[in-house]
Chains A and B, each alone.
Chain A
Amino acid sequence: MKTVLFGAALALLASPVASAEVTTSSIATSSAAPTLFSTTPIETSFEEPSPWRTGFLLLSTARYQYDNGDRTQLTAINPNTGVLELDTRYDPTGENFYDLVTTIGGEVGYGPMQVAMRFDTALFFNEPVAHPDAVPRIAENLEQRYNNVYNLDYISASYSDRNVDLTLGDFYITLGRGLLLAIRKVGDVGVDNKLRGANGKVRLGDLSLNAFGGFVNLRNFEQGQGFNYDNGNDLIVGGRAEYGFGKYLKIGGHGVLMRNQDDRPRQAEIRGVGATVELPRPVKWAKLYAEAVFMERDIKDPGQPVDTTDTFAAYMSANVFAGPITVLFEGKHYDNLPLIVPDLVAQSDSPTINSRQIINLYIAQPTAERPQLILLTNQTVTGGRVRVDYRVTDKIVPFIAAGRYHDETAVRVAGDGSAATDATAVYGGGTFRWEGGTATGNAGYRGQFGGLERVDIHLFADAEQHLWGDNAAELYVNVLKARQDNEDWYEGRVAASFKAGRTWGATLAYEFYTRTPGLFREHYFSVAGNWQFSERGLVRALVGGERAGLKCTGGVCRFFPGFEGGRIELDLRY
């Protein structure tokens, strides 16, 4: 079998910016085929195709972290004085260390059967250590960081034909829109949650039945800050049945049981059921989706009666297609919808839950908002948004969107009605194409008032122009102006890229974050490049700095620390 691999993606070489709009994706894939875009012509034969398939993947990233300029985590209670103070003897976000992160994967397929596995390693050199006189919190923090990792992260055997899907090993599973369960991979923010067990789906005409069960298998390493953590011991079993009446109506129901199997003082068990109704295209100009879930969470403390909390959540989306006009409406009503994370801790149970647990959510709440501006906690909230696009021509498509939300999450926690927050968002933009070029952009306002006050104004634009031959240039701008607690700041990224076909590319970027200049560096510059040295190999490199910030993809947001240093990535696929 021949092979291929490719790359493109310049912008991703220097990325962490608060943006839901991923302008360019990650690179390359495994394959067994000649490439369209090299000089090798596609060859075709009439030999009987072999049922065998193979693939191999090696991704390796070496980094040197000089100093990310981040001092935010240095505050700690000094045990000698009892005062919260900065400890300047150690930067827990890490500096002056090296890491080498490698993923090796392979797959073998025979007809409808496929076996795949992936092995991850993370090695650290010259890793930070706590000063002997540093506050204890720093040493505790380090216990979870910069530990070498060797992990068989993914292994599965699957069979897929027209009527049956069966997987043993690791698999992803989402029920409905994920209000009750969404075990998924969101690669751009480093989330790769799986269930390790069995998953079977059978299609019998218009009826489909799905049953599954397994233990949660997380990606046990987080490269941004060098955290590593175990899988916990959460068992999840469930099932779903769905029946379709042609294009007109599809109904479904599902149930889930989650149970933590550890022998810990506080046990949690979650039971949930959900129902979905979909009108995929009852008429040519409209479609509708609605989902409702009910959940019970038991918290069992030793010697205490079981504390059971109820949840109800509903979500709907509707589309109207009227000639050149497209309307999207989303609405949600979440009443105490918990953010289920490893060990089945709900955020509302533990306000101090740490950020790396948060990214490994077991559910996916449709936000109905621009995801990079998730400021509400999205647990007890009612609201919706509408977006209208007008297709003036094939090349000019402007839009406008508006949303309104009322959040009472803090009211539930504090019992204080004044803690409610109301948010309003209005933004607009569009997509524009011309001969050899395209541009997309939007700008808007979001204000929230009440318990948690904040105002944001954003501007996003991305334009690409084909130049000559295979060459192209891209300009990317993403700026946010924010105001919170009487503090104003800017954050964002401006980048210019040049691509010489698929062979090489270069990006110059400037990033900024002007909030609390004493704790974060304000200005970051970087130069990045990629070089595809063969059909099977690609190298990417970056030197310079990247700002700390929130990066969102697919509704999952994660805070990335700043970076200052260099990194080089090797991507080999066969």
Chain B
Amino acid sequence: MRRLMLLLLLTAACAQGPKASDPAKTESKASAAKKSGAATLPDFTLETIDGDKFTLSDHVGKDVIVMSFWATWCGPCKVELPHLDELYNAEKEKGLMIVALAMDEPTTVAEVAPTAQRLGLTMPVALDTNQRAVALYNRSRNAPMTVIIDRQGRIVHQAAGYNPGDEVKLAEAVKKLLAQ
């Protein structure tokens, strides 16, 4: 067990992540990055409350993606979601995809669609009842939890919790990513 742990930590320490660099790279590199973006992240497909399917790889390498993990029992989540929906409607034509990933248990999942309706959400609301997306992108099962993926398919931001005013900073950051 100890060997396994050491091996994992060693591997983690040696692994190289993407490095930030001069944004003035060539268009061909950007294009190549977009094409390969979908292959850099583990994928998931979830049902939405409208009966559609949301597949992450449909958007990776193409859109700026904001994944917002939430639950009906999470008070701050329900404060944050209308702000995200507002941002989604303002920027979706420019290539922004925001998906609200409901982590509700089977015991409360019936509340998800009515809650989304009450909040007036128009963005996709997907059900992660089997904790598939949670296992890949929110292992600590935080709520709310925001994950942003840029157009190159890289996770550029993750943050748990919500404070009033966060939505302003989020909107500014997303607009920067959309402009690049």
Contacts and interface: CB of A to CB of B under 8 A. Distances in A.
Interface of A: 1-2, 4, 6-9, 20-37, 41-57, 104-109, 111-117, 119, 152, 155-156, 158-162, 165, 171-174, 176-178, 182, 184-187, 203, 244, 246-248, 250, 280-281, 287, 289, 317, 319, 321, 326-328, 330, 364-367, 371, 387, 389, 391, 394, 397, 399, 431, 433, 436-438, 440, 462, 464-466, 470, 472, 499, 501-502, 553-556
Given A33-B156, A50-B16, A107-B139, A555 B105 contact: yes
B109 A177 contact: yes
Given A9-B161, A28-B142, A391 B15 contact: no
Contacts of A111: 39-42
A171 B152 contact: no
Contact of B106 (A182, A389, A399): A182
Interface of B: 1, 4-5, 8-9, 11-13, 15-23, 25-26, 29-30, 32-33, 36-37, 39-45, 47, 49-52, 55, 57, 71, 73-79, 82, 104-111, 113-114, 117-118, 120, 129-132, 135-136, 138-145, 148, 150, 152-166, 169-170, 173, 176-177, 180
B2 to A, nearest CB: 9
29 contacts: A25-B145, A32-B158, A37-B159, A44-B150, A45-B21, A47-B33, A48-B33, A48-B36, A106-B12, A111-B40, A116-B135, A119-B1, A155-B4, A162-B55, A174-B131, A178-B105, A280-B47, A281-B50, A365-B107, A366-B108, A367-B107, A371-B108, A394-B82, A431-B78, A433-B79, A433-B82, A466-B164, A470-B163, A555-B106
A255 B41 CA distance: 32
Nearest to A208: B45
B22 A23 contact: no
A125 to B, nearest CB: 23
Contact of A24 (B76, B105, B107, B113): B76
Nearest to B42: A160
A20 B82 CA distance: 22
A55 B12 contact: yes
Nearest to A438: B79
Closest 8 CB pairs of A and B: A8-B161, A1-B17, A280-B51, A555-B107, A178-B106, A43-B20, A554-B105, A247-B51
Given A36-B170, A49-B36, A29 B45 contact: no
B79 A29 contact: no
Given A36-B148, A186-B105, A287-B49, 11 more contacts: A22-B74, A32-B158, A45-B18, A53-B155, A54-B11, A55-B139, A109-B42, A162-B55, A367-B107, A371-B107, A391-B118
A23 B162 CA distance: 11
A393 B157 CA distance: 33
A389 B145 CA distance: 26
A7 B161 contact: yes
Contacts of B139: 29-30, 55, 57, 105, 107, 116
A389 B114 contact: yes
A109 B153 CA distance: 14
A108 B15 contact: yes
A398 to B, nearest CB: 10
A176 B106 contact: yes
A203 B36 CA distance: 23
Contacts of B15: 52-54, 108
A32 B17 contact: yes
A329 to B, nearest CB: 9
Contacts of A7: 160-161
Contacts of A112: 39, 41-43
A22 B4 contact: no
B165 A108 contact: no
Given A42-B177, A117-B5, A554-B104, A108 B12 contact: yes
B18 A34 contact: no
Contacts of B165: 466, 470, 472, 501
Contact of A47 (B25, B44, B71, B142): B25
Contacts of A1: 16-18
Given A114-B42, A173-B130, A26 B140 contact: yes
B170 A178 contact: no
A314 to B, nearest CB: 14
A420 B114 CA distance: 32
B75 A28 contact: no
Contacts of B109: 177
A280 to B, nearest CB: 3
Contact of A247 (B43, B50, B118): B50
Contacts of A33: 148, 154-158
A161 B43 contact: yes
A287 B113 contact: yes
Contacts of A32: 17, 155, 158
Given A27-B142, A182-B106, A48 B118 contact: no
B157 A36 contact: yes
B131 to A, nearest CB: 5
